[in-house]
Each structure stands twice: as C-alpha cells, then as structure tokens.
Amino acid sequence: MSSTTTDPYGAFADDDADQIYTVTGQDWDAVVADQAERGDERIVVNMGPQHPSTHGVLRLILEMEGESVVEARTGIGYLHTGIEKNMEFRTWTQGVTFCTRMDYLSPLSQEMSYCLGVERLLDIEDQIPEKAQVIRVMMLELNRISSHLVCIATGGMEIGALTVMTIGFREREKVLDAFELITGLRMNHAYIRPGGVANDLPDNGLDHLRDLVKWLKKHLPEYADFCNENPIFKGRLGDVGYLDLAGCMALGISGPPLRATGYDWDLRKKQPYSGYETYDFEVPTWDTCDSYGRFRIRLEEMWQSLKIVEQCIDRLDKMQGDPVMVADKKIAWPAQLAVGSDGMGNSNEYLKHIMGESMEALIHHFKLVTEGFRVPPGQAYVPVESPRGELGAHVVSDGGTRPFRAHFRDPSFVNLQAMPAMCEGGMVSDVIVAVASLDPVMGGVDR
C-alpha cells in the first residue's frame, strides 16, 4: 500500500520510509507480520474517531515504537454542529437553547456564562432576583456533581473498574431526576435565562433535593473506598499523564488538571459571580500533577459542591414565593412560566390574563417571544468555573434582537492541547488514562 496520503494530520515522509495500514477488522497478526518483515519498529495508529476510550468522536494519531508513544496528535472537528453560528440567527433568549447543547455533560455552565454576558450588556446584573441567583448556584453545583460522576465512571470503565462505572451512573441518574423535576428535562435544559431562571422550583422541589443530598452523602464514600487506596487503581493512574504547573500555565489549562498541580485557581473564589463569595466551601488541590491527582480533586469537589447545595436549600426554604425573573417585563421571557406535571405548560393565571383579559398583554407576549428584546451595542466576556475549567462566553451585540456574535472559550478545547505533552514518551495504554483525566467533551470542543 502506498504511503502517499492527503491526511492533514499524517506525517510527511518518503514512500520508502513509511507504511500505512488500514485495519478494518482483518487479522491483526497479518499486519504485525508485515510490519516485522520491514524491520521498522515505528508505526502510526489512529485511535478513533470512533473508539470507546476517546470520550466521544475524538481522533488520536499516535506514532509508536512498539507500545511506546513517540508522537501524539489530536484530530478534532468530527462533532461540529455550528452552534455558535446558529446563535446569530436566533433571539437572545433562544440562544440559550443552542449553547446548552455544546458540552452536554455540563449544559448549565454554558447557559450561565452566556446569560451573564447578556445581562452585562443589558446592564441588569444588579437586578437579578436573589432567589434566581441561589437557584442558579444550586443547579450549577448539582451539574458539577453529575459531570464529575460521568468522568469517574467512564474513566473507571476504561481501565476495567466496572463497578465504579455502574455506581457512577447510578448516582448521576438521581441528579438527572432532580433536573427533570425542576426544569422539565434531564439534559439540555435552557433553564437559566437572561434575567433569571425559567421557572420556580415545584412545590415538592426542596423535599426532593433534601432526599437527593441524603442519598449522595450515603453513597459518595463508596468511590473513595473502591479507588483511593486501591493498589491497581493507583498503579494505573499514578505518574500517568504528568503535567506540572509550568506546563498548565503555558497551555492555558484550567480546572482539575490545574488544581492537581497544587494551584488553587477556581473562578468561584478568585472572580466570584452570582454570590459565590457568600457560600462556605473550599477549593481542593493536589500535588502530584498526574491522573491520580485529578481523580482525587474531582472526588473532593463533589463533596464541596454538596456542601454548597445544602446551603442553597436552606436559603431557598426562606424564599417561598419570591420572584425568579427580573421585574422588567420587556426582558422577562417567557413570563410567569410554571412547569406542569407533564413537563410543560404555563400558569393558568397568566394564560387567563393574556388570552381573555388584556389584548395589550397578548400582543406584548407575542412580540417578546417571536421578535425578542433589544440589547445595547457592545461586547462582554464573562467566565464561569465549569466542571472542566474556565468556560467563558464572549457575546457581541450590534443593538439588535439577536447576537451579532457568540463565541465560547470551552475548557475541553483548551485542555485537549495538553494531550501530546502528557502522552509522548509513555505507553499506549496510558494514553487512555491521560485523556480520561482531562475529561474532554467533544460537543464543547467542536461546537
């Protein structure tokens, strides 16, 4: 087979010095025998884009000598959705429905950064109701727990710790049940809106959340029991995917990989938003700069998030009936929404008002939903601390009812740059562990 290739990620080499194998289910022994005859130990292997250990449609191009990785490159773009471009053709509120679908494991972080940017352009940051801010923080922290659970569960599965995977998804299901009760959806919620949140908690919301906290407090210790001092687990993760503080700073790495170097950088503490400075919690750090440290960071962060959630529940208990959307009726959309038992609907009082009592209210509702509100010209960048690191939305307005531009600094995209530095010189089996410790979500990478 000729080595000539148009692969933009492939290495350039003379025909005589290179050999490309396209293996699609044939006998691997034949490839090995052919390679042995050539006497050249170097081989290029594509891991993905459809591979159970690449956390989505990620392609890893690995140049190896034996089982040692000499050179590693990433190939991305297989999950490109055009979300950022699509947002330019929707109203400011409808944009939430798009950006929530990027990093599908932490949709609320995208909604949060985008809405904070829109609110800054509208100059209504100090008008957001306190109850809406508390609900936002609570939902973000529950989302952090569910995201870390998926990271630990899938990472465990890839190295054979199947029990960690099954219990990880068990706890995540409990969190998603709470999301469904509050927002009407398990994922891709579009719950955080410019001006507040879409709807208040249901009548049984706080009781359900208290039961969830009890469940998590009971079951989260199991992950430490299974993994923390497990010699096989530590052997697979320790000193694997090493990246120190200097490397993180040079590459712009944030989130658990950065905190695993001992640097306590967390935007919730360093650049607080939505009242995070009023909550009592710690920023966990580790000092090993490896995959094991990143695992321990996420484990401890779930406990800290649970601590914040408990404080939110206590505050919400004293805010019964308080507003959850900005008072300005020119921005609040959709007005006075209430999710019914079927997961959709609006409050009967509001429907009665706009459909039978006030033509002006009906016209206003129609124009607000179909046309949207105008945002003053300008641009804003507001970052939040997502489960994977710094997630920021750069929103630009030309004074119209739609974003002129919306661009996201996604931590999965930035953190994935560290893959070559973490993997080159190691074993191919360690590539799986290193990538898992970064926890990339390809929906956020490709957007």
| Tens digit of each residue's pLDDT, the chain (447 residues) | 444 455 555 555 444 445 666 666 566 677 777 766 666 677 888 887 777 766 778 888 888 887 888 888 888 888 888 898 999 898 888 888 898 988 888 899 999 999 999 999 988 888 889 999 999 999 999 999 999 999 888 888 888 778 888 888 899 999 999 999 888 888 888 889 888 888 888 888 899 999 999 999 998 888 888 878 888 888 888 888 888 898 889 988 998 999 999 888 989 989 999 889 999 989 999 988 888 889 889 999 999 999 999 999 999 888 888 888 888 877 876 655 555 555 555 666 666 766 777 777 777 777 778 888 888 999 999 999 999 999 999 999 998 889 999 999 999 999 998 888 888 888 888 888 888 888 888 888 887
What is the C-alpha to C-alpha distance for residues 238 and 440, in angstroms, rounded to an integer? Answer: 20
State residue 117's pLDDT score. Answer: 92
Domain housing 120: 83-333+372-446
Position 434 in a domain: yes
Domain endpoint, select from 52, 75, 98? 75
CB atoms within 10 A of CB 314: 11
Contact of 288 with 238, CB cutoff 8 Å: yes
Asked if residue 301 and residue 429 are part of one domain, the reply reads: yes
Shared domain check, 88 and 71: no
Residue 2: per-residue pLDDT = 41
Long-range contact set of residues 277-284: C-beta below 8 Å, sequence gap at least 24: 279/137, 279/308, 279/311, 280/307, 280/311, 281/305, 281/307, 281/308, 283/259, 284/259
Do residue 202 and residue 280 come from a single domain? yes
Question: Helix 428-438 vs helix 130-158: angle between axes, to the nearest 10 degrees?
Answer: 170
**CA neighbor of 237 nearest in space, from 438, 442, 445:** 438
Q: What's the pLDDT at 13?
A: 47
Q: Looking at the structure, do residues 242 and 98 belong to the same domain, yes or no? A: yes
Question: Residue 343 domain-assigned?
Answer: no
Q: From CA 427, how far away is CA 248, in angstroms rounded?
A: 21
pLDDT for 15: 46
Q: Are residues 68 and 111 in the same domain?
A: no
> In which element (H, E) is residue 395 found?
strand 389-397
Q: What is the CATH number of the domain that holds 378?
A: 1.10.645.10
Instruction: Return the SS3 of 446.
Output: helix
The answer to the question of residue 8 being in a domain is: no
Same domain, 191 and 291: yes
Q: Looking at the structure, do residues 259 and 165 belong to the same domain, yes or no?
A: yes
Give the number of other CB atoms < 10 A from CB of residue 383: 20
Instruction: Tell me whether residue 176 is in a domain.
Output: yes
End position of a domain, from candidates 32, 55, 75: 75
Same domain, 88 and 65: no
Whether 27 and 161 share a structural domain: no
Residues 28 and 89 in one domain: no
Listed in sequence order, the residues at least 6 apart from 295 whose beta carbon sits closer than 8 Å to its beta carbon are 152, 155, 227, 237, 437
Last residue of a domain, one of 54, 75, 96: 75
On whether the CB atoms of residues 398 and 406 are closer than 8 A, the answer is no
- In 3D space, the residue among 189, 183, 182, 186 whose CA is nearest the CA of residue 206 turns out to be 182
The answer to whether residue 171 is domain-embedded is yes
The verdict on residue 365 lying in a domain is no
β-bridge partners, 75: 59
Query: Can you give the pLDDT at residue 76?
Result: 86
**pTM for the predicted model, two decimal places:** 0.84
Task: Tell whether 1 is covered by a domain.
Answer: no
Does 122 lie in the same domain as 46?
Answer: no
Number of compact structural domains in the chain:
2
Do 95 and 26 lie in a common domain? Answer: no
Domain presence at residue 360: no
